[in-house]
Structure 1
């Protein structure tokens, strides 16, 4: 049985590498969680002792296969709850993240599976992020960040939920998953780095 903090660490490690295949240091993880490097190092040592992460002291930390399974279990909870809050309770897509952060630790896997069925087994959350299946599988995405895209037309796949204010502006501009965006766009570098797209000309 994992603690809430342990679940948060594993989920944070997963989300840091989900869209950018980069190594994660304890310092980067500390920034993501808003904690001191010393606190993060202590928890990473505990997770390593449970076989949930691999850790090179003063360098990198990565999920082990069992750690990835636990992380995906939490990601599944989070994204299904976000979808429920939007579809069933009328929350805005800029409001669901913080609520899901609190609720994901309080419900059972049975509840989450029932929620999944109630929602019709959605494939993506309100921001376009794929929802892991009950067995932890995820569809492969070929989306890339908009600031790295070189085509002339793109379809939005997902938008990062880390900035609620940007989500509100994006919704007003029609920048939502599934929408067509033409280049050159009028977004600044930071905004473009929060959007992932695929080529509109590809099938």
Structure 2
């Protein structure tokens, strides 16, 4: 094959590498933002490596690239923080992810424990036009199926005041605002006892092995792991 004949395939390879790099950058920025969405401590490179399932050396290389684009601020051996430009980009990625999750649950019959991984793939694949159509179809929702806020098209986000269930005192009553979507097994366990965004919950006792709660007048024992992914209204 001549060099001219080989040129198109080489071009396609370069395009694929560019697309892969853009997806990786999106995933990093989204993970950095999400880490501080419900608590204040910024993410460290080792935590970022664990979240993304990559080697620390890979994180170091990518963070340097993002810093060169003025998307993150990072000093060696310190936490990684988003710049204003990085936060804007991260919010746009989160908007895509959470709208897709909401669409999959409302329109496609997915369970709330099934949508995270699907959205991870689709958020990089659909066009802005299709995303806007999904948003319109859903009536411009403000939260996804897990209670996480969906940024609007301008990047504005409405964050409700919350308290982690494990930090509530016995007798505290509130509405479930948000449930972390990181562990499908915990989502299934909470679904099975009817706990999710909008549920009214009373904290009866937080013990070492389990947490006693009352939901819709019925007492339940849930594991500390399950309680640890639930946030109540403040």
Q: TM (normalized to structure 1)? A: 0.94
Which residue number corresponds to residue 161 of structure 1? Answer: 181
Q: 2:199 aligns with which of 166, 179, 187?
A: 179
Answering whether residue 213 of structure 2 is matched by residue 193 of structure 1, we say no
User: Which one has the bigger strand percentage?
Assistant: 2
Distance in 1 of aligned mates of 2:66 and 2:141: 31
Deviation, 1:188, is 2.7
Answering whether residue 170 of structure 2 is matched by residue 135 of structure 1, we say no
Which residue number corresponds to residue 33 of structure 1? Answer: 52
Which residue number corresponds to residue 124 of structure 1? Answer: 143
Q: Deviations over 1:32-61 (max 9, x none)?
A: 101111100000000000000000111111
Q: 1:170 aligns with which of 177, 190, 194?
A: 190
Which residue number corresponds to residue 106 of structure 2? Answer: 87
Higher radius of gyration, 1 or 2: 2
CA contact (8 A) 2:174 2:232 kept: yes
**How many matched pairs?**
199
Deviation, 1:166, is 1.2
Q: Deviations over 1:115-145 (max 9, x none)?
A: 1011110111011111000000111321121
Decide which moves more: 108-117 or 79-88: 108-117
Distance in 1 of aligned mates of 2:42 and 2:101: 28
Distance in 2 of aligned mates of 1:158 and 1:171: 13
Q: Deviations over 1:68-88 (max 9, x none)?
A: 011000100000000110111
Q: Could you say which structure has the greater relative contact order, defined with CA pairs below 8 angstroms and 6 or more residues apart?
A: 1
Q: Deviations over 1:132-165 (max 9, x none)?
A: 0000011132112100112521210010111111
Structure 2: gaps (5+ residues): 1-18, 205-211, 213-220
Distance in 2 of aligned mates of 1:65 and 1:42: 21
Q: Secondary structure at the match of 1:3?
A: helix
Which residue number corresponds to residue 148 of structure 1? Answer: 167
Which residue number corresponds to residue 13 of structure 1? Answer: 32
Ranges of 4+ aligned residues in structure 1 off by more than 4 Å: none
CA contact (8 A) 2:105 2:145 kept: yes
Q: Secondary structure at the match of 2:222?
A: coil
Q: TM (normalized to structure 2)? A: 0.82
